[in-house]
Amino acid sequence: MSLIVQKYGGSSVADAESIKRVAKRIVETRKAGNDVVVVVSAMGDTTDDLLDLAGKVTPLPEPRELDMLLSAGERISMALLAMTIKGMGHDARSFTGSQAGMITDARHGAARIVDVTPVRLREALSEGAIAIVAGFQGFNRDTRDITTLGRGGSDTTAVALAAALDADVCEIYTDVDGIFTADPRIVKSATKIDRITSEEMLELAAAGSKVLYIRAVEYARRHGVTLHVRSSFSNAEGTIVYNPEDGAKVEEPIISGVASDLSEAKITVVGVPDIPGKAAHIFTIVAGTGANIDMIVQNVSAANTGLTDISFTLPKSDGTATMQALQAAKGEVGFESLQFDDQIGKLSLVGAGMRTNAGVSARFFSALRDSGINIEMISTSEIRISVVTRADSLSEAVRTVHSAFDLDSDVEAVVYAGTGR
Ligand code: ASP
Ligand code: MG
């Protein structure tokens, strides 16, 4: 008998019909002789709707209360799913994050898992029941308050439970057939990837691929959990995200995919004195706002002015606070002005084979040149090249690069549901 953890995302449980469809799938897994633990997200766009609602009653909702509110989304889907399965004549029990033993630190809205004690889930399983767990939420022992793990946190819940229960596999059900070589909403000819290492998946997730959240992939990598990302709308095999044995040589394609991201903005600090310590000063101020910066570029200082420009990218949502903090330090740092640009897009090419394959960058930049796409910033890791372009040329850039690396498939990728929100 195997133990299977299944996670269903918001679009897979968006309405009553979807919940019934998912329930059937869960019951089939149970009937095949497996122990089943299910993690659910909130129905459809519930979390966004609740956030909008909070924003209408007060400009800055209290973090503790916001977590109470948002955690309600997952409680709705867990209870509905459990009663559906019960109604089908099978035993099922729903559990909140805290009942399931998801112990976190105290950071509301971005809590980290510190311990997983799934005693009640084990009990339910040993009594033959299917355990249904509300994703995305936990409990802090010191404050005795409910926490949430940050957007997309249900993936992390599922992976953490799979690790704690030593599950055979953690299946992540979504509205596409798996991980694709590009976002199928942008590239119709994107190809489904059969197997990918967690290292490459981490780079793709960090570069903006939204199928799996980065923290869930990190957790799976650290705890050796194998993931199977697949559609809840079809029976097709999805993508296996695996951790190669240490030192094992895997012969995989050179390139695994192209990720794109429209969620970042660019700040340029213009006219910074080109002397030691200025970058340190600027980024200390930025760090003080809690913003997560991504790419950084410093221009060569213009010959006789002794001044240089420093640009960096960060999440759009961190833009205002960072601009204010820098503006306040203008005199102290001694720069001339600030520019804010939220019309940028980021494209990343990821592949473990890049390490050993010369010529990847030449092909990449030639493709962008042939399509007349201007590059504003470049950054690389061992297995990734990223560029910043204008936001409105991002989709074309993605398609161009995707074709240049022969990633196109003959069959059209299916997006079964979801608003991509
Ligand atoms: N419902 C939460 C969100 O939309 C958590 C999740 O879906 O994983 O971010
Ligand atoms: Mg969601």
Q: Is 135 in the pocket of ligand 1 (CB under 6 A)?
A: yes
Environment of ion ligand 2 (residues, CB < 5 A): 10, 41
Atom of ligand 1 nearest to the CA of 9: 7
Nearest ligand, CA of residue 70? 1
Whole-number Cα distances in Å, 94 to 133, 144, 377: 6, 21, 48
Band of pLDDT at residue 247, cut at 50, 70 and 90: low
Q: Is 78 in the pocket of ligand 1 (CB under 6 A)?
A: no
Is pLDDT above 60 for 421? Answer: no
Annotated binding residue 175: yes
Is pLDDT above 60 for 372? Answer: yes
Ligand 1 pocket test, pick from 154, 175, 232, 419 with the greatest ligand atom count within 8 Å of Cβ, gives 154
Atom of ligand 1 nearest to the CA of 151: 9
- Tell me the DSSP string of 303-369: TTT-EEEEEEEEEGGGHHHHHHHHHHTHHHHT--EEEEE--EEEEEEE-GGGGG-TTHHHHHHHHHH
**Which of 213-217, 248-252, 394-398 has the largest mean confidence?**
394-398
Q: Is 136 in the pocket of ligand 1 (CB under 6 A)?
A: yes
Annotated binding residue 210: yes
Annotated binding residue 10: yes
Is pLDDT above 90 for 321? Answer: yes
At residue 322, φ and ψ (nearest 5 deg) are -70, -40
Closest CA to 365 of 352, 380, 353, 355: 380
Q: How far is it, in rounded angstroms, from Cα 284 to Cα 296?
A: 14
Check: CB of residue 25 under 8 Å from CB of residue 171: no
Q: Give residue 5's pLDDT.
A: 98
pTM: 0.88
pLDDT tens-place string over residues 125-134: 999 999 999 9
Annotated binding residue 408: no
Q: Is 154 in the pocket of ligand 1 (CB under 6 A)?
A: yes
What's the mean pLDDT in 211-233? 93
Lowest mean pLDDT among 73-77, 91-95, 209-213, 270-274: 209-213
Lowest mean pLDDT among 107-111, 114-118, 209-213, 276-280: 209-213
CATH class, domain 3-247, is: alpha beta
Q: Whose CA is nearest to atom 9 of ligand 1?
A: 151
Closest CA to 211 of 172, 253, 163: 172
